[in-house]
Every structure is written in structure tokens, then in C-alpha cells.
Amino acid sequence: AMGRPARDLLTVLFSQGKMVTINDQLDEETAMEIAMELGIELEIEQEADFEDALADRLSDEENTDMETVTRPPIITVLGHVDHGKTTLVDRIRSSNVAAGEAGGITQHIAAYQVEHNGQKLTFVDTPGHAAFGEMRARGANVTDIIVLVVAADDGVMPQTVECISHAKAAGVPIVVAMNKCDLPGINEQRILTELSQHGVLPSEWGGDVEVIRVSALQGTGIDNLLETLLLTAELADLRSPVNAPADGVCLEAFRDEGRGPIAWGIVRQGTLKVGDLALCGPAYGRIRAMYTDKGVEIQSAGPSTPVKIAGLNEVPGAGDHLFVMTDIDEAREIAEQRRVRGRTAALSGRGGPKSLEDFFAGRDGAIKDLPLIIKADTPGSLEAIRGELEKFEHAEVRIKILHMGVGGVNESDVYLAASAGAIIIAFHVVAEDRAEALAGQEAVEIRRYKIIYNVTSDIRQALEGLLEPEK
């Protein structure tokens, strides 16, 4: 657009110490600088981003003194495999399904609501913490509270640690369900110690995390767990406007033989009504019918309500935002644009650096956190790397280790990195095939190392090469 060969632009950039290739994108500021350098008048036009406009609309709504109501908490149950998530979730659900209610609880649903002492709680049935991370990477952060299931006979395991890291990155309060307390010979103190070691400090030890003893199998402690969740929700003061146009998130969707695309969603704010014009990812349409988690047909759904929706023209993806629109032409146009761009586009545009170089290039003098995820072959190497990184001191950069673990880089790591703009350090380990592919798709950088010194020296070099000139 400048009418100059790329070579000229690269020369200007090189002379400023910026190493770029012809495939890189320039930010506005750099483009302006080059234009000035080359004596070209440059005008930057910006395509209005619809999502941004909607986000503005929503925050405007939050800011106005629109009537808000207390909404039920949205809870996600996470934990290491076999620690009893499914059993716990089924137990909570079945205790709330009146005898003879349609379908019983055998049918899988993406989210459901229960009542305890007259108050509602919404549970999202996420298939694991990687899926939780994926939703977050897509900008769909629906969860208010995480129930971390830890089997008392097994303790804190690698996936438990991954769940803790996801919860912390999401900034969501944790309530621990210490499960399988019916088993003989369990050592509660050991579990509490292990939790503390991973930054989850039990309230009975002066921390801020409630640890509730339960047996999902026998149904003991469940009432106490639900009460604690309601209390946690009360402290968080979860409110939302009711009379606003609704927005929500699609949790899961499929094509039904007879009814066409069906989406399981959750209303985040406002009230969703039958007849509303909805836009959800690459899909749009008038809502033809809505059902509760118990299969009851409803006409409207308020904040935190899980709903099954019929009427969209396409099957949206998990994590797609649902917005109520007024203009059908606009809805159609946006949905079509998204279909053309494809799914991956929906994932881009998140903040945060994509690589170590980006991080340092993007500094602007302010103190910045450099989020890292570290995977290594042994606990010893993890500790050694952490030790080295802790020694690292810089006036403007703070290293923040989001997650550390023994083993190869997995999908959970990549989603965590994608949602937090973190870089993954792989020390003497490789990435699982699917994680590798995902990292490519999500533009997450995995840096491989065999020598600890190289980890720290890379960070230092990248930094020192670009230190801001002393004034």
C-alpha cells in the first residue's frame, strides 16, 4: 500500500534493530514510523470489529444503572482422572431429580441446574480441564467457581496440578472436594499438605480455600459442599442485568435428525427469549424453541440458566459467544464472514505475546509479567529451572510461572498458554502430537531446551538485546 518494495521497509526496520521477515505483520505504530522514515503519508483505516463493538455494548450495559439481579453461580467440576468427578456430578444431579422426572440422569447434558435450600446452582459438565482451558482460550470464561475433586486415597496428582493452574490462571475461586472419604486408612493431613504445596491453602490452615470431605459414592458431605458453594457465590456477589438483550456461550452443539442444529448454551446476562434473533459463532437464526436441562420447554431464560436452543441455521462450536441481535441482515452477514474465515480466526486476536521475541519487543517501559509454563523430564530439573528463574531479577520484567509439570507438553498446557499469552519451556521433553498441532494453530511458542543455562540465557539475551536506552 505504501508503493515501495518490501526490501525498503525491511531496511528501515533492520536499521532500527528490528529483525522481521516479509511474512511478519507490522503494528500501527511501526507502520507509521516507517512511513515517516520513507516520507510517505500514511492513513490507517480500521475495520470495526463487531465483537469489540458488542463488548462495548455489554460493558456500557454493566455501567448503566440497569436493574441487576443476583444470579446463580456457574460451577465447573475438575480433577484428576478416576478421582470421582463423574460420580460426584451424578450424585449432585440425581439428588435433585424428582422421582419419575423425564429422562432421569442417564442422558448426557452439557450443563444443569440444581436447587439447594431454595437457591440455584448451575453446573457445567466440562469433559476435563483441557476443555476448560480451550473454552478460556476462546475467550469464553463462564465459570464462577471450580470444584477441585481430589481422591483422599490418591492425593494431588499431575492432572490435579494442571487443574489448579487453570483455575489460578482463570482467577476463579476453588472449593476442594476431598472425595472417597469413605475409604479406610486415608490420611487427610497428607492431602492438605499436598494442596498447600501447590498453592491451594486450606482454610483450616489459615488459607482461603475450603476443603470439604465428601463421599460421592455414599452421598455424604454433598450438602455441605453445596452450602459452601453458595457461600462462595455470595461472597463473589454475582450479579447481572435481567432486562438487557441476552448474551451467552455455547457449550456444546450437534445436529439433530429432526430438529436441525441444537446448541447447549448458558445465558450469561440478560434474558434469552423464544423468537430472539441470535448470532452464535458462524450460526444465526431466530430461536424457535428452548428447553431446560430437564427437557422442559420454556419461553425465556435468565442469567446463569443452561438452555438447549433450536433455531440456529448451523451448528456452532463450543465456546462460541451467543449474542441477541436486532438486524437480521447484519446477523447473516457476520455469520457468513465467520464461516468463510473458519474457526481458527475466532481464536486469534487475544492479547499477550506469542513468542519470547514478541514479548520483549512489546515492552513499553512498564513492568510486565512474562508468563511461562515449564515442562520437564524430572521433578529435579523442574526445581533447578525454577531456582534459576527465581534468581532472575529485572526492573521491568517479572517472570511468572503459571504451571510446572513433569512430562511432555500436552493439550492442557497449550490451552493454558493460549489463554494466558504464555510461552512453554520444554526441557528434555517433547510435545505430544496433538499438542504440537494445536500449538501451531493457536500460535503458542514451545521452546525446547536441553541445558538449563540456555533457558535463562535466552530470556536474558532477548531482554538485554532490547534494553531501553538509559535516559
Name the segment binding ligand GDP (CB under 6 A); options: 30-38, 215-223, 278-286, 295-303: 215-223
The rounded radius of gyration (Å) of the Cα atoms in the chain is 25
Q: Residue 7: what residue type?
A: R
If the CB atoms of residues 10 and 157 are measured against ligand GDP, the closer one turns out to be 157
Q: Which residues pair with 247 in a beta bridge?
A: 269, 323
Rounded distance, CA 164 to CA 148, Å?
Answer: 8
- Of 449, 448, 426, 423, nearest to 358 (Cα)? 423
Q: How far is the CA of 296 from the CAs of 223, 301, 308, in angstroms?
A: 26, 12, 10
Name the segment binding ligand GDP (CB under 6 A); options: 99-107, 154-162, 209-217, 409-417: 209-217
- Of 345, 398, 384, 427, nearest to 139 (Cα)? 345
Out of 30, 159, 165, 179, point to the residue binding ligand GDP (CB under 6 A).
Answer: 179
Rounded distance, CA 162 to CA 31, Å?
Answer: 40
The 83-102 site mask, x for binding ligand GDP (CB under 6 A), equals: xxxxx---------------
Out of 13, 35, 71, 79, point to the residue binding ligand GDP (CB under 6 A).
Answer: 79
354 binds ligand GDP (CB under 6 A): no
If the CB atoms of residues 84 and 281 are measured against ligand GDP, the closer one turns out to be 84
155 binds ligand GDP (CB under 6 A): no
If the CB atoms of residues 226 and 334 are measured against ligand GDP, the closer one turns out to be 226
76 binds ligand GDP (CB under 6 A): no
CB 291 within 8 A of CB 262: no
Instruction: Report DSSP letters for 27-47, one per residue.
Output: PHHHHHHHHHHHT-------P
If the CB atoms of residues 33 and 82 are measured against ligand GDP, the closer one turns out to be 82
217 binds ligand GDP (CB under 6 A): yes
Least CB distance to ligand GDP at residue 217 (A): 3
81 binds ligand GDP (CB under 6 A): yes
Rounded distance, CA 140 to CA 284, Å?
Answer: 18
Dihedral sign for Cα atoms in the order 303, 305, 306, 308: negative
Out of 71, 166, 168, 180, point to the residue binding ligand GDP (CB under 6 A).
Answer: 180
437 binds ligand GDP (CB under 6 A): no
Q: Which residues are annotated as a binding site for GTP?
A: 79-86, 125-129, 179-182
- Of 58, 77, 19, 137, nearest to 441 (Cα)? 137
Out of 178, 211, 216, 279, point to the residue binding ligand GDP (CB under 6 A).
Answer: 216
82 binds ligand GDP (CB under 6 A): yes
If the CB atoms of residues 228 and 240 are measured against ligand GDP, the closer one turns out to be 228
If the CB atoms of residues 183 and 466 are measured against ligand GDP, the closer one turns out to be 183
If the CB atoms of residues 69 and 217 are measured against ligand GDP, the closer one turns out to be 217
**What b-and-e string marks burial along 303-334, b requiring 16 or more CB atoms within 10 Å of the CB?**
bbbbbbbbbbebbbbbbbbbbbbeeeeebbeb
Q: Which three cell numbers stand for residue 312?
A: 440456529
Map grid coordinates 457445567 to a residue: 124
- Of 285, 275, 281, 280, nearest to 313 (Cα)? 285
Least CB distance to ligand GDP at residue 283 (A): 31
Q: How far is the CA of 199 from the CAs of 174, 187, 193, 410, in angstroms?
A: 11, 19, 10, 22
Q: Which three cell numbers stand for residue 363?
A: 515492552
Q: Residue 452: what residue type?
A: I
Least CB distance to ligand GDP at residue 116 (A): 19
Phi first, then psi: what are they for 163, rounded to 5°?
Answer: -60, -40
Least CB distance to ligand GDP at residue 340 (A): 39
454 binds ligand GDP (CB under 6 A): no
375 binds ligand GDP (CB under 6 A): no
If the CB atoms of residues 13 and 105 are measured against ligand GDP, the closer one turns out to be 105
Dihedral angle computed from the Cα positions of residues 152, 157, 162 and 165, in that order, rounded to the nearest 10 degrees: 60
For residue 404, count other CB atoms closer than 10 A to its CB. 19
Name the segment binding ligand GDP (CB under 6 A); options: 179-187, 279-287, 292-300, 308-316: 179-187
Out of 19, 183, 231, 466, point to the residue binding ligand GDP (CB under 6 A).
Answer: 183
If the CB atoms of residues 220 and 456 are measured against ligand GDP, the closer one turns out to be 220
Q: Which residues are annotated as a binding site?
A: 79-86, 125-129, 179-182
Least CB distance to ligand GDP at residue 88 (A): 7
If the CB atoms of residues 84 and 241 are measured against ligand GDP, the closer one turns out to be 84
Q: Which residues bind ligand GDP (CB under 6 A)?
A: 79, 81-87, 179-180, 182-183, 215-217
